[in-house]
Structures are given as C-alpha cells and as structure tokens.
Amino acid sequence: MIPYQKAKADFSLEGKTAIITGGAAGIGLATAQFLVQKNVNVVLADLNKDVDAVAKTLGPKHIGVPGDVCGAAYRQSVIDAGVKAFGRIDILVNSAGISALDKAEALSEEMWDRTMNINTKASFMTAQAFGAYCIKEKVCGSIVNLASQAGVIALDRHVAYCASKGAVIAMTKVLALEWGKYGIRVNCVSPTVVLTELGHRAWDGPVGEAFKKEIPAERFAEPDEIAGVIAFLCSDAAAMITGHNLLIDGGYTIK
C-alpha cells in the first residue's frame, strides 16, 4: 500500500536519497541541483568518467558513479554505492537517454537497437533493480522516468525515439500497477524541447523559432522547469499520483 503522508507546504524531501541516471549533464544535472536545494542526498550515474567531480560541485557529500547504465553489474553498483554512502535509497530518476534522428526508411538497425537499449531497456532494468531493493528493504520509494512528448505524438525523423519513449510511458503504468502494493510510486514526465546544451545546439535557429510558434506557451522549456516537476512527483505531496505521464510541453500536445 502507498501510505498517506500529510503533505508539507514546501514539498519537503529532507534527508531522502536519490539516484539520477544521466546525472552529469542536461535534465539529469538540473534535477540533481534542484533536489540538493531540497536537502536530498544525490548519487549521479553517468558515462562521464568525471561524474564524481560533477557530484562534488553540488556539495562534498554527494557522489557520482561512472559507468554504462546498460550494464547489470553497474546498475547494482550504483544502488550499493548509494546505500553505503547514505544508508538507504528513496528515489530513482531515470534521465539517461539518447535521440537518433533519421527518416524511417533510412534508420539503421544499430541505431534502433541503441536507442531502445538506452532509453527503454536500461530504464526498465534500472527501475527493476531499484524496485527489488525497495521491496526487500520495505522502502516506499518513488521512480520518475524521463519520457517525452514524442511518446504520445508523432514527430518527423523520430521513429526510434518516439517508439522508445512510448514504451517508457507504458512501462511506467505497468510498474505502478504491480508495485503499488509495496508502497512504490512510478511516474514519468514528458517534456517538449528543453534548452539544455544539446537542446540549444539542436533547436537554436530558424527551425526552432518555427517550432515555438506551434506551442501555445510560445517557448521551449528550461531544465529547472523539468526538475521542479520531478521534485514534486518525488515528494509526499504527490503520494496519490502513480502511473501518471505528466506532459511538460507548453500545451503543444493539446492540439
């Protein structure tokens, strides 16, 4: 059962510990920075070999574990490192992901497999490892998966990305259904274009300006806007929210 916990006005996360995959940059790092402001202990998991140094910029107690989230041994090592450093893990944010852009008729099998392996398979397997830990240790944990507006609508040249993120949304619902009895909540967020470093590189210019005109908010999202929603979903204020896909798209998908 997911217990009722009276929500605090500031959506407190005091003393909780979060694992964030893809945590060395982009939305993952923005989420880490936001959660640290909420007094959360942070474990960053990332391919970047300097991820521990990135974690230390958030404060001396936070840690980073370099490695490939596609590896089973690595995924377990991240959980073990978090438990060793902080005593327990309460939150998992699956932020690691890639985008392969190509016409459907030209997309290579290699890029299809790589997109699915990182965006979908690794997200599930990391959630599975975290869920097993929570069930064994009787932790009422919270998982937030990074999906995308591309998981609910079709985008040109995004066939692998759309398929992978649609799968993440479906996976989120099934995990929420199965794990609610253990007190584990599972949600996902689906942003529009987010102005990370990669977002700027991909969308600064005429194509991006044209895209903005199709969004009712008339702009793209900033990383901290995604991080704030993730923090809310991890908090006790969201105790009755599970299996939900929260679109953060400025209204783009309402059309």
Query: Where are the strands (E) in 147-224, listed by range?
Result: 185-191
Q: Give 67-131 as a DSSP string.
A: S-TT-HHHHHHHHHHHHHHHS---EEEE-------B-TTT--HHHHHHHIIIIIIHHHHHHHHHH
Amino acid letter for position 248:
I
Helix ranges (DSSP H) in 180-222: 197-203, 206-212
Residue 133 is among the residues annotated as catalytic for this protein: no
What are the phi and psi torsion angles at 17 (to 5°)?
A: -120, 135
Give, in degrees to the nearest 5, the angle at Cα 51 between 49 and 54: 140
Q: Which two structure tokens, joined as six digits, stand for 178?
A: 């199965």
- Catalytically annotated residue among 74, 133, 161, 182: 161
Q: Which two structure tokens, joined as six digits, stand for 2?
A: 């997911």
* Positions marked active-site: 161
